[in-house]
Every structure is written in structure tokens, then in C-alpha cells.
Structure 1
Amino acid sequence: MVAPRLAATADDGAPPASGDGLPQVVDQVALARLYGEPLFALPQDLYIPPDALEVFLEAFEGPLDLLLYLIRKQNFNILDIPMLDVTRQYLGYVEEIRSRNLELAAEYLLMAAMLIEIKSRMLLPPKKQEGSAEPEDPRAELVRRLLEYEQIKLAAMRLNQVPQYGRDFLRAQVTIEQSLQPRFPDVSLTDLQEAWRDILKRAKLVQHHKITREELSVREYMSHVLKALQGRRFVEFEELFQPEKGGTVLVVTFIALLELAKETLIEITQAEAFAPIYVRLAYTPV
């Protein structure tokens, strides 16, 4: 809600203005400035919520936390708690929070009742425990709970001091642009046939008319092809053939290539249509 602009005039009850434009007041000191104009008195209809100026000096996480604070602040021996002083200070704090937050005070009232009970039992004659020569101390259970709570609180503080992701540090993230691996298009059957015909044409130009009987093994030429591809990224399709050895060797070599491709031991690739055909080992990293 926007406050209305104030104008200091003689008709609305404000002090009359002086020659320099300021109201005629004793010290000429304004309480505040509203839209650039001095404010010498609080508006009559100004509403300030009751909790607007509250200041919390200490925050406690529960009755045990408050009790431990009162004991440690005054250097009391936790094994020999002066119940009168601690109970009086504790009840003073509980009375303060009761006037402000009744729901919050309920848990503290339960501890206050326990402190009053312990103080009352200390005023009575001590009761001896069965099988023990020393009488029972009414503060023993409270001391045990306080010591356990203090140990847990100290452990929590040590854990809180450990650097935490998102609070004390952030994970460094660096984006590195990597070029995508080029994917070669699959070789079509037509291009493979054209390459094979071209090899046959060149073989006829250099062939010799020798009539011999020769037993050729497809497996043997498969080994020859694998050895030729070993240690090389790409080998042109034409380099794997030896036209000078005749058409029979060319056929066996071509069949060996087809068998290797069928067994996925080699890959036959082509960058684009009508581009040179290359052969490589299927297990060779790019």
C-alpha cells in the first residue's frame, strides 16, 4: 500500500513553513523523508505490528538445548546442577515465550514440570536404592539426558563444519565442444557393382594369356586382405586387388572381401555417392 503524499500546511495542523520552505520547528530535524519531503511527526493512522521490532538474541532447538545453555553459560557443574538457580532462570524464559507463542511453550512447560519435580524430590529425605549404599540422586536421569544431548549436538556441529556440496562449494562443470564423428553412408549395391566392373576392365588391359591350373583358397585370400588392412585406417577398395595376377585371383579376392564383410570383420564405407570406396577393419578404433 502506498502512503499518501504529505504536505505541510497550516490548515492540516502541521507547523507553518518558514522562508526556506521547511516547517518552523525548533531544531529543523525531520524524523524521516517521505517522497523527498521531510516528516516531522508520525502520522496518526500509522499502524506498526506488535512483532515488527522483535529481536531474538538466542534461539533454542528444544528444552534440553535451553537447559544446557543455562548450565554452560554460568559454568555450572553438569554433574552437580544447582536446581534452584537453573529452575528459576528456566521458568523465566518459559514465561517469556508463553506470552508470545503458546504452542511453542508447551514442550518447554513439560521440562519445567520435570525440573520442579526434581527440586521437590531433592527437598525430601534421600531414598536409598536396593543393593546400593548410596542414595538415589533425583538429577541422575536429567544429567544423563543432558550429556547425551551435548554429545549429539557437538557431533552435529562437527558434521556441519565439513564442506558440503551446494553450500560451501560447487562442482565445476566445463562444456567442451567435440566434433561429431562423421558417419559414412552405406555403400549401395549399384556402386559396389560399378567398382567391380571398373576393376575387371583394368584387369583386361594388363592380363596375360597363361593357361595354368591353380587352386585358390578363399580363406587364404581373406587372410591376405586382413594383413593388408592391418595397421591402416582406410584402404582404397582398388588397392586390395592385384590385376596382374589375372581375373581368377581378382574373383577370389572379391569373394574373400564379401565373406569378410559378411562375418563383420571389415567395413566397406563411402563418404558420398560416386566417391571412392574404402575398406577398413571393423574392430579398428577411429
Structure 2
Amino acid sequence: MTTADEARAASGQSDAALAAPATDSTPNTVDGIAFARLYGEPLFKLPQDLYIPPDALEVFLETFEGPLDLLLYLIRKQNFNVLDIPMAEVTNQYLGYVEQLRKTNLELAAEYLLMAAMLIEIKSRMLLPVKKADTGDEAEDPRAELVRRLLEYEQMKLAAQRLDQLPQLGRDFLRAEVYIEQSITPRFPDVNTDDLRSAWADVIKRAKLVQHHKISREELSVREHMSVILRRLQGARFMEFSELFDTTRGVPVVVVNFIAMLELSRESLIEITQAEPFAPIYVRLAYLPA
């Protein structure tokens, strides 16, 4: 065989080995999905040397919220009368559960040990002969305090269950939320006549509280009023005092007119006379000698 033939034979053997490998490396799976990953690599079947501790799959079927809950569970499960508890049987069952609990969780078992001590004490007192009290009445049942606590706990537990059955937001129903697109055009409320009358009365009331009194300044001349008085007295011999005042023009004119009359009297241009007390007052021009 030549060298070329040997090369072709070796090449053919290597191609056959690649086409049909000695061991099948394809994982034995149906859907090709790994159920776990170990160090990033897919794991399609459990390893043969996997160690599972004996207590790894231990399951607690009943969980209790405390010693009273466990004791009530033992009584109700066996249909015992709460008012006549068989302490021997219930205590043995209770101690069996506490012993099992101590092996797994010592801290949690401490809560149940006090109740266990109480059950043992009641059981011991029931074994002793009953003694009457000093008053002659029968001695109280050692189980009375325990029965009272059990009945109160059962009432609270039933009330809690009834409350839990009520519909709760987020658990039984959800709050409905509806988005309503508001209209762009505003809608104003209607106004009746009573509202308008009340608003108008309020405006009038506020207007009366704020009032303004405008004072206008009028320039009045005393000399001018002196001339007016002299002209009026020239055509009459006497004139009554009140006839010389024009009350229709207001108080300022009357005051200036009175000042003008006083000024004329001071300058001896007029005479103011009266015949007797409370008699009318007259005004006339002063007599001037020739």
C-alpha cells in the first residue's frame, strides 16, 4: 500500500469516528430543558452521590398560634367536652407534641412548657382526694380556670374567623377606578332670581358702609357782601335783621353775610337798633351829618 493510500485510509477512519462516536453525549431528556444549574452548567438528571439529610423533608401539617391553640385543637379533634376534660389523655397528647417540638425548635417549645406544667399540676390535683372548703361548700374544680381561658380563647378565635370572612379590599375585591374625560366647555350653574336679589342686597349694604363727603371750597368776599347790604339799605328806611340774610344759598353765605354786617357796624356805616328787650331787631344806614 502506498503512502497516499495510507493517508486516505486514515482520513476515512477519522471521519467514521466523528460520524459515530464511542459514547453518546446527548442528555437523556424529553424536552431538553435542565431542571437545575450547577456552577453555571445545566443539570439534566440528579447525581448518584447526592446526599439528602433525613430531616430535610420533615413537614409540619398543623401549626398553632400558642399553647391554648394546641390544647383547644386536641380537645375539639377528639370531641371532648370542654367542661369535662379528660386531663390524663389530653396531657399525654400535649406532652408528646411538646417533646417533638423540643427536638426541632427549642426556643419555640419554651412557650409550651408553661402550659405543660399547668396541665401536670391539674392532673395531680385531680388525683388527690377532694376536700371541702371551710365554708362547707364544695371545692372548686381544678380545671375551672383552664376551662375559662379555653372558652374565652375560642370565642376570640371564632370572632377573628368571622372577621376574616368579610370581604377585604385587595384580597376579595379591588377598588374600581374610572377615568372620565372632562368636557372642554365649562358648564356654569343656573342662577335664579333669589340669588340675584341676595347678591344685589349685599352690594347695596357694602356701598352704604363706604360713603364719601366731598367738600367744595367756595371763595366768598366780605367786602362784596358789605356792598350788597349797603345797596339794600339805601332804598329802605329800616329793614328787619333777618331780611338781610339769604338762607337759600347755604350756611357759608349766611356766615359771611353776618361778618359783613358786623364789619359795617364797626365802621359806623349802619346802625342796629331794638325798641325793647325781645323786640324785633332792625338795621338802617347810619346818619351822617352834612
Q: TM-score, normalised by structure 2?
A: 0.49
Which structure shows the higher helix fraction? 2
Greater RCO between the two (CA within 8 Å, min separation 6)? 1
